[in-house]
Structure 1
Amino acid sequence: MKRRTFITASGASLGTLALGPSTTAADSTRRFLVDRSSLRNEDEVEVVHELSPVDLLAVRATESTLEDAGAAYAPDIRVDPTGYRPARQSRVEYPGEGEELFQYQWDKRDQGIPEAHEITRGEDARVAIIDTGIATGHPDLRDQVNLELSKSFADDEYGVGEPYGGTHGTHVAGIVGASDGTDAGVVGSAPGAELVDLRVFGPSLESTDRGEVPPAYWGDTYMGTVLAALVYAAEIGCDVANLSLGWTWTMRTEGWGKFWGKAHQRVGRYASRQGTLHTHASGNWGESLQFNQDETDSSQTAGGITTSATGPIGFDPETGEYDEPPHAPSTYTTHGVGAIDLAAPGGSAGDSTYDDVVNAIAIPAFDDDGEYQGAEYGYGWLAGTSMAAPQVAGAAALVKGTNRRYNANQVKNTLHRVASRPDEYERKYYGRGGYLDTLAAVED
């Protein structure tokens, strides 16, 4: 049996984002997150996003303006994707008629998705994908996305329904809700669920040397933008909001302090009260993640789910066998008994492409003037906690499909209650809940 060697912090980020505070001079116009109730005059700032239900604003202003106004604020946190590198970005072309890829979807086989679909396909559930944009023209995602409710929060004019910020959002959306009504391709955990495209990433048009498969993320965003999208998801009645982007990196490197900790908790609690369960990636630097009292992650206090990643070694799509099982912790995954809620299939990033997660991809193209030229559709294997979080989001949508009266905490508690706790691996990789068991959750 092949055994995996666990990496340390020197390992590359594989499915989450490195977050870093702005370093712009204090007297210039910058991005800030502001407590709206403390701001005496909003006319003196440029409002980027209104988070009205939680009394927060994302603004552009000078720090001196905010200080003079007596505002409670903190610099907005730039989400910089340049360090994001999936373990592999192996790619296959769109299969011909009748060519299915389900035999390569060890994640869905392991989670008993075909059996779960005999009970529910996630009908009537609504899932927000807060990401780089969803390619609604992809054969496996046509008619899966509600474009009327979809909204762009990105700092550009491109809109929604296309992978403007990169292929990552399409892959994540497919893991949650790729259609099971096609003759080819992949299937999502909850193909009956309605997806909502909440794009927070824009394209990076400066980089042209992207190789055969471009980086999953091209542009960047701010944490205030991400929180605004989560608030909106709750406002429009999403049952689940998936954030396959890590807000945990800043805590590890710089710390975000009391203001950001309270802001996250405020948003998380609002989402939970509205019935929205938010799922997000824990990170991919292979170290223990801990939260202190001032920097508590919103999932710990407000009904969300922080997800670590697992994956097989030596998966054989012909036989369905493997050297190490799908619930084995991935080498890169962030962990911590007090920080992780559930572990889920994210890919092992081992020796074989087949050990990663295959799903839909859409590679966007832009001309020299930034005009969008469309996207090339296909499928690809990616590995990371970014792939694990939507497994949990899809499972939550299925639970909601069978229990429409459940609130966010009841859905979360169901996933926790039925999760397994493998004896052969350390508990720190599975956190408080254990390993996701989608079929058991649906049958519960």
Structure 2
Amino acid sequence: MSQHGRRTFLKLSGGVLGGIFAGTTVTAAERTDRFIVETRGKRLPSDLTVVHEMPGVKFAVVEGSESDVKRSTAVKGYAADIEVELDEPPVNDEVPAFDASDYEGQPGDFLQWDKEILSVPEAHEVTEGEGTRVSIIDSGVLETHPDLAGPLNLDLSRNFTDDGGDHNPVGGDDHGTHVAGIVAADNGGGIGVNGTAPKTDLVDCRVFSSGGGASFADILAAVVYSANIDADVANLSLGAYPVPRQGQGSFYGKVLNSTMTYANNAGTLLVIAAGNDSADLQHDKNVISLPNEGAQAVSVSATGPIGYGWDADGDGAVSDLASPPESPAFYTNYGTNAITLGAPGGDADLDAIGTGVPYYNDLVFNAVFTYEDIDEDGEPEQVPGYGWKAGTSMAAPNVAGAAALVKSANPDYNANQVESALKRAAEVPDGYDKAYYGSGFLNVVDAL
């Protein structure tokens, strides 16, 4: 069976960037009017327009010409900001719309194998994430979704782009809404889906603009912001691969490591998707995956079942699984020292797509939205709903939610102690390669 795909992923192009980031898909470009600068001490450049101050680190994001940046006496070093695009994986593109008429009761009770394998209901007997805060650095969280309206903190949620909108998603991208649901969906009063930490204080940090792009600088600023508002966890279901370790890429690496270390020291655990390139991050010489291989990152690989609710092995029984939920997903990146934990992100039998079987049950089911012209005024509205996605983008928020539970049960823990609890509880499943799991498969109950 040929299985190769990519999760929702930021792809950076070496062709556009002159080798700073190497990639095969041209979806990135350097900006000529926006720069990430290293400042001299705490002095911000007064002769440039400061977009993000990033208090706590010796970096800032500015607008102006490169000649102006070079002349500024407050600037020690700089690099152009980078605009990148979010690329939805093909396996997600094929997923049908959820038909609620196919199920009786709460759909999350039937379709959320990820919460079932993680024993989330049992964990909720201890805590549901009370007293914690999780930021979602992504494409925006739909505040009108009934499963997210409760946990979402509208006062702290921010738009980090320059598109003039608010924190809500734009351009039809429901990726951030799905990610947020995996962390904190509160089942919409008993009729929706479940998150791992439904009582956490959820903060939306939108870094993808109405044009479909995201900026490296905006992502960094959102990480610093998350630390400065005392977020216990920040989830980043985004990334770039492969990034050369040398050249101008070293400046981006320095900024990223400084930012991530600051966040970790401030008590914010950074949970980051490992990537969807089926790549061995342990042995890919001279390149790195970012930000999941940056300093202090909890890098999460993806697992998933084959045959959840359908007869994948053809034996006539839908109760049997062709592979268990803790088995590595076909697309996930791996590497013993590059991966921190494995967690449910969804898998897929690509040969089953288009055959009429519900192969999509093996993906992760949670909150989404669609566009429909409900009032028939010619302008489509965002309509909350439910659906499936797969990727390390979905595995990371399962860990982020678990981290919030650990922090809730142990309020004196710092970020390193929360991570340690998750790693100590995890085990590599029997018969599987440690390279796919790091410390092991996520075990929420034992971590508590």
User: Could you tell me the TM-score, scaled by structure 1's length?
Assistant: 0.85
The equivalent position to 2:81 in structure 1, one of 73, 76, 83, is 76
- The residue aligned with 2:321 is 322
Q: Distance in 1 between matches of 2:160 and 2:331?
A: 30
Q: 1:380/1:163 Cα in 2 relative to 1: closer, same or farther (>3 Å)?
A: farther
Q: Distance in 1 between matches of 2:216 and 2:235?
A: 15
Q: Distance in 1 between matches of 2:156 and 2:7?
A: 30
User: How many angstroms does 1:241 deviate by?
Assistant: 0.5
Q: Distance in 2 between matches of 1:294 and 1:356?
A: 30
- The residue aligned with 1:48 is 51
Q: In the alignment, residue 438 of structure 1 is paired with which amino acid?
A: V
CA contact (8 A) 1:167 1:364 kept: no
The equivalent position to 1:303 in structure 2, one of 296, 301, 310, is 296
Identity rate of aligned residues, in percent? 41
- The residue aligned with 1:125 is 132
Gaps of 5+ in 2: 19-28, 311-316, 353-358
CA contact (8 A) 2:274 2:301 kept: yes
Q: Which has the higher contact order (CA 8 A, sep 6+)?
A: 1
- The residue aligned with 1:279 is 271
User: How many angstroms does 1:99 deviate by?
Assistant: 3.6
CA contact (8 A) 2:292 2:298 kept: yes
CA contact (8 A) 1:234 1:276 kept: yes
Q: Distance in 2 between matches of 1:430 and 1:381?
A: 23
Q: In the alignment, residue 191 of structure 1 is paired with which amino acid?
A: P
Aligned pairs for 1:17-416 within 5 A: 17-20=10-13, 23=16, 29-37=32-40, 42-69=45-72, 71-82=76-87, 84-87=89-92, 88-93=94-99, 98-162=105-169, 166-180=173-187, 182-204=189-211, 219-247=212-240, 249-251=241-243, 257-290=249-282, 302-316=295-309, 321-350=320-349, 351=352, 352-364=359-371, 374-416=381-423
- How large is the Cα RMSD of the aligned pairs? 3.1
The equivalent position to 1:428 in structure 2, one of 435, 439, 448, is 435
Q: Counterpart of 2:361 in 1: which secondary structure? A: helix
Q: Counterpart of 2:62 in 1: which secondary structure? A: strand
Q: Counterpart of 1:420 in 2: which secondary structure? A: coil
Q: Distance in 2 between matches of 1:189 and 1:105?
A: 11
- The residue aligned with 1:437 is 443
Q: In the alignment, residue 250 of structure 2 is paired with which amino acid?
A: K
User: How many angstroms does 1:143 deviate by?
Assistant: 1.4
Q: Deviations over 1:160-197 (max 9, x none)?
A: 24556611111000000000462212100111111111
Q: Counterpart of 1:401 in 2: which secondary structure? A: helix
Deviating more after overlay: 53-62 vs 15-24: 15-24
Q: In the alignment, does 2:12 pair up with 1:13?
A: no
Q: Distance in 2 between matches of 1:40 and 1:146?
A: 32
User: How many angstroms does 1:27 deviate by?
Assistant: 12
Q: In the alignment, residue 440 of structure 1 is paired with which amino acid?
A: D
User: Could you tell me the TM-score, scaled by structure 2's length?
Assistant: 0.84
Q: In the alignment, residue 231 of structure 1 is paired with which amino acid?
A: V
Q: Distance in 2 between matches of 1:155 and 1:312?
A: 40
Q: Distance in 1 between matches of 2:77 and 2:385?
A: 47
Q: In the alignment, residue 278 of structure 2 is paired with which amino acid?
A: G
Gaps of 5+ in 1: 205-218
User: How many angstroms does 1:46 deviate by?
Assistant: 2.9
User: How many angstroms does 1:61 deviate by?
Assistant: 3.0
CA contact (8 A) 1:34 1:72 kept: yes
Deviating more after overlay: 127-136 vs 175-184: 175-184
Deviating more after overlay: 17-26 vs 126-135: 17-26
- The residue aligned with 1:209 is none
Q: Distance in 2 between matches of 1:21 and 1:294?
A: 12
Deviating more after overlay: 31-40 vs 386-395: 31-40
Q: In the alignment, residue 287 of structure 1 is paired with which amino acid?
A: A
